[in-house]
Structure 1
Amino acid sequence: MEFYSSESGSGSDSGGARDSCSVKTLDVSYKQLENCELEEAVVEGGWRGGPLHNLVASHNRLTSLPESLASAFNALRHLDLSNNRLASLPDFLVQCPLTALVAVNNQIPNSGLPKTFAGWSSSLKMFNLAGNRLDRFPGQLAELISLKHLYLGSNTIEEIPTTIDRIVGLRVLCLGGNRLSDIPESVGRLEDLEVLVLSDNLLESLPPTVANLKRLRTLQLHKNRLRTLPTEIITLSCLSELSLRDNPLVVQFVSDMANEPGNLREISARVVKIAGLAYSTADLPQSLVNYLNSAHHCVNPTCNGVYFNSRVEHIKFVDFCGKYRIPLLQYLCSSKCVKEDHRPSSPQSRFDDMMRKVLLG
């Protein structure tokens, strides 16, 4: 059986030996390895010739990691154990200086995790336990104060602990495909969060504190039971991707926003822009000139309507293949976009018709 081993570094001395910055990687994925064969694979991979930094052992038949590998892993930084049959992670792993641990699609329950993650508190940056048998959010994660990326999707987690805000530097939090019915307000204290995935859960609402996530770029909420969104969400200036499909709120959201009248300033400004009327600071105050200059054209290519950032924020709805940017506060900007025939139709079909008009003309 052959294994792939590689070594990279920033340079070498005159004798050709690698310097202390070299990184050793061993790839034993797709080898159908059993537990007893993993140690042999690591030894044959040459870890005794120097510290092993990266091990890829995905897509094998592992049900556990032999304790005999502890000494071989004393310099391990990246470990990929995805797509095996693991029922636990051994305690000795917490003594390894890991920065990334991937154990996707295994059979690990909460009882199969080490009792403490304290050994990783200052090193682990990425932890992926998606597709396992976790029925609770592991409390040990609160010890990982340096964690940046956390993936716990496709488990059966029912609750997020209020202590999640202890992972202060978290940037990506993926919890899609669980059984969450509520989100604690403490999530709003994850000030560095950029990606929040909560799709395919049982959520009926979000806490207003989500508006505190000023760096949030992506928010996935599809396949939930949401009937409303906190109005504070419009203050998320960095938010650029939002998914909402398969939620009860969508039909009502479009209906409410389509029928909400604009204020007098906006209606007047739309007339000026649509009619192409000339204006300058000689005619209007500078504030109104700036407002008129902030106009954007409707995303519907057959519509000449305009809208303004003071009322409408751009959001890319990834439900439509990530292709379109649609106003968040009001999908439709003019009568051309809301004109419908009078044939009987369901709320969903009316929504589909309106979205097609906006997106496709």
Structure 2
Amino acid sequence: MKKLGFLYSNLKGNIPTGIGTLQSLKLLSLGFNKLNGSNVLSIFNISTLEILDLRNAGLTGTIPNEIGHLHNLKKFGIEQNALADSIPLTIFNISSLQVLSIWDNKLEGPLPREVGNLTMLNLLDLGINNLTGMIPDEIGNLQELLDLQLDSNNFSGSIPISNISTLASISLTDNHISGYLDYNNFTASIPSTLWNLKDILKKNLSSNFFNGSLALEVGNLQAAMLPDLSWDQISERPGNGFCKFSSFANKFSNYDKSENLKVLHLGDNNIGGVIPSSISNSSNLKELRLYDNKFSGPIPNSLGNLRQLKLLKLFNNCLSSLDSSIFTSLANCRSLIHIDFSYNPLNGVLPDSICNLSTSLELFYLQHSEMRGNIPLGIENLSNLNTLFLLENNLNGSLPRTFCNLLNLQVLVLHQNRLIRPLPYCLCQLLELGWIDFSYNQLSGPIPNCIGSVTSLRNIYLNSNRLTDIPMSLWSLKDLLDFDLSNNSLVGSLPLDFGNLNAITAIDLSRNCLSGSIPTTVGDLLELLHLSLAYNELQGSIPESLGKMISLESANLSNNILSVKEKQNASDYTFAIDSFIDGTCLNHCVHVEET
């Protein structure tokens, strides 16, 4: 017998000792079972084994030294068990090994220098363990290595991989490395030799604190993706073979193969200076992410030459655009799906040219960008738009009725502008709308009566306006999760239908002119966590049902004319009723009126 497989066979208990007598066996698979491993040593007598699969087999204890007896072994998978202690040195005597996968165990101690003996290795995966110390220089001897996974350990020091020209995938996330990759504390510059690894498709260098800058040799990367450097902190300290980011443009003007670039991600760094217009030489660029940096000056209009661009994220910099001309240029990018210029001092009028952007545009973020003027009528041309953020600007005038033709719109956020007049009734045509936020504007008049027909609504924020009436249809939105209509001029009473909002978790109707009593159906709001009816003209007794709402975390009923009659037992209330002090609500509070 040469092959024996029990993969996913629901085996339990000991490994049968008889397996050790199969001296011609080349493949043994016992993975994804519930073995206890007490007879595992018998397996290591089968010197002919080439493939040993013990993945997720329920094994505990340690990897025995006898593993070294399997001198013909090519593939060894023992991941997702509960093996502890150190990696036995004997495993590194198996020079035929091509795959060594021991991830997700409880191994500890250093990675031995003898790892350099495994010169045939294609995959080395030791992730999700408790390995410590420095990654040994001998790992650079693995000239056949394609995939290196050392993530989620406690490695420190630098990474000696620059001599491995075959690497296609590297993951060193969640360590304490002074070299590259996620959630590490990098203290060294990125070595220029790294960029000579021409076959690497993607390197994740995110969430680190780089001390240094990218090497000029970055242009040697000829695969589809440049490194993902998100969350890095790259300073501008020059070093041997490195360039300051003040000469950031050199990376493009000197890069004669920039047409190969498809993704450039340098977000979350401290890169300054201007964005070079020569970036448009990367004619096949599809994603450009330069957000959360210190770029300044104008956004280069040459970005409009990137005809294949789909995603452009430049938010949180110090960028500008003369006469908002960037939008005219970007009209040439007919594949654009996502634009984010938020938190830049664009300081201009929102131009009609945004209406000429690609009809494929789905997400458009222009938050806190010092834009002013009216929302252009032609915005209806962005027919596939599903998310629009224009909040925290100085936009004025009314919401154009052409908005109502954006039938794919799901998220509409325009809070903290200077919009006036009533909301157009035709907004009820947007049957995909789930989130609407017009808070902190100057809207007036009633909320449209038809709002109840937009059953997709989950979040409504219309607080701090001059709205006057709540339509009855609002109480029919049974899937509504959160609404805030505070600080308006709302009048009238709360109907019994108040209790129809089955999914609601937060209601804020404070600082209005609501009168009448709190409907007893408030107790039907079983998912309600936060309720504020403060600063109204509500009167009468507080419904006992309110006091029995187990889910309720905060209830502010202060500054009304409410009472708890003495015949009502105050202990029935799950919130405190004695915290009303000088008109201020502390914790859960109501005013108690003795009768």
Scaled by the length of structure 1, the TM-score of the pair is 0.62
Within the alignment, does 1:52 sit opposite 2:52 as a pair?
no
Which of 73, 76, 81 matches 2:366? 81
Give 5+ residue unaligned stretches, structure 2.
1-273, 280-284, 289-308, 558-567
CA distance in 2, matches of 1:244, 1:163: 24
Aligned pair in 2 of structure 1 residues 185, 352: CA closer, same or farther (>3 Å)? closer
Q: CA deviation at 1:352?
A: 6.1
Q: Report the counterpart of residue 434 of structure 2 in structure 1.
A: 148
Q: Report the counterpart of residue 218 of structure 1 in structure 2.
A: 506
CA distance in 2, matches of 1:104, 1:191: 27
Aligned pair in 2 of structure 1 residues 73, 90: CA closer, same or farther (>3 Å)? farther
CA distance in 1, matches of 2:577, 2:406: 59
Q: Report the counterpart of residue 130 of structure 1 in structure 2.
A: 415
Bigger drift between 148-157 and 83-92 goes to: 83-92
Q: CA deviation at 1:186?
A: 1.0
Q: Report the counterpart of residue 402 of structure 2 in structure 1.
A: 116
2:533 partner letter? L
Q: Deviations over 1:11-43 (max 9, x none)?
A: xxxxxxxxxxx9523325542334343237748
Structure 1 contact 158–178 (Cα < 8 Å) conserved: no
Give 5+ residue unaligned stretches, structure 1.
9-21, 261-308, 321-329, 341-346
Q: CA deviation at 1:104?
A: 1.2
Q: 1:246 aligns to what SS in structure 2?
A: coil
Q: Report the counterpart of residue 191 of structure 1 in structure 2.
A: 478
Pairs aligned (count): 270
Within the alignment, does 1:38 sit opposite 2:326 as a pair?
yes
Q: Report the counterpart of residue 554 of structure 2 in structure 1.
A: 317
Which of 377, 392, 417 matches 1:91? 377
2:553 partner letter? K
CA distance in 2, matches of 1:38, 1:51: 16
CA distance in 2, matches of 1:208, 1:333: 25
CA distance in 1, matches of 2:542, 2:400: 50
Q: CA deviation at 1:88?
A: 2.0
Q: 1:142 aligns to what SS in structure 2?
A: helix
Which of 502, 525, 529 matches 1:240? 529
Structure 2 contact 554–587 (Cα < 8 Å) conserved: no
Structure 2 contact 466–488 (Cα < 8 Å) conserved: yes
Q: 2:518 aligns to what SS in structure 1?
A: coil
Q: 1:242 aligns to what SS in structure 2?
A: strand
Within the alignment, does 1:7 sit opposite 2:317 as a pair?
no
Higher RCO, Cα 8 Å, sep 6+: 1
Aligned pair in 2 of structure 1 residues 55, 339: CA closer, same or farther (>3 Å)? closer
CA distance in 1, matches of 2:387, 2:587: 45
Q: Deviations over 1:58-96 (max 9, x none)?
A: 3421212242x5454222111112233332222333222
Aligned pair in 2 of structure 1 residues 72, 331: CA closer, same or farther (>3 Å)? farther
Aligned pair in 2 of structure 1 residues 332, 40: CA closer, same or farther (>3 Å)? same
Structure 2 contact 352–378 (Cα < 8 Å) conserved: no
Structure 1 contact 110–136 (Cα < 8 Å) conserved: no
Q: CA deviation at 1:148?
A: 0.3
Q: RMSD of the alignment, in Å?
A: 4.0
CA distance in 2, matches of 1:356, 1:164: 32
Q: Deviations over 1:222-272 (max 9, x none)?
A: 2233453222222111212112333454xx67xx459x8xxxxxxxxxxxx
Structure 2 contact 475–501 (Cα < 8 Å) conserved: yes
Scaled by the length of structure 2, the TM-score of the pair is 0.39
Structure with higher Rg: it is 2
1:166 partner letter? S
Bigger drift between 23-32 and 215-224 goes to: 23-32
Q: Report the counterpart of residue 104 of structure 1 in structure 2.
A: 391
1:78 partner letter? L
Aligned pair in 2 of structure 1 residues 108, 238: CA closer, same or farther (>3 Å)? same
Aligned pair in 2 of structure 1 residues 351, 87: CA closer, same or farther (>3 Å)? closer
Larger fraction in helix: 1
Q: Report the counterpart of residue 267 of structure 2 in structure 1.
A: none
Which of 169, 175, 181 matches 2:462? 175
Aligned pair in 2 of structure 1 residues 247, 27: CA closer, same or farther (>3 Å)? same
Aligned pair in 2 of structure 1 residues 231, 35: CA closer, same or farther (>3 Å)? farther
CA distance in 2, matches of 1:220, 1:154: 15
2:495 partner letter? P
Q: 1:183 aligns to what SS in structure 2?
A: coil
Q: CA deviation at 1:178?
A: 1.3
Q: Deviations over 1:168-191 (max 9, x none)?
A: 211111111012332111111222
CA distance in 2, matches of 1:225, 1:134: 21
CA distance in 2, matches of 1:120, 1:53: 15
Structure 1 contact 110–138 (Cα < 8 Å) conserved: no
Structure 1 contact 187–209 (Cα < 8 Å) conserved: no
Q: Report the counterpart of residue 229 of structure 1 in structure 2.
A: 518
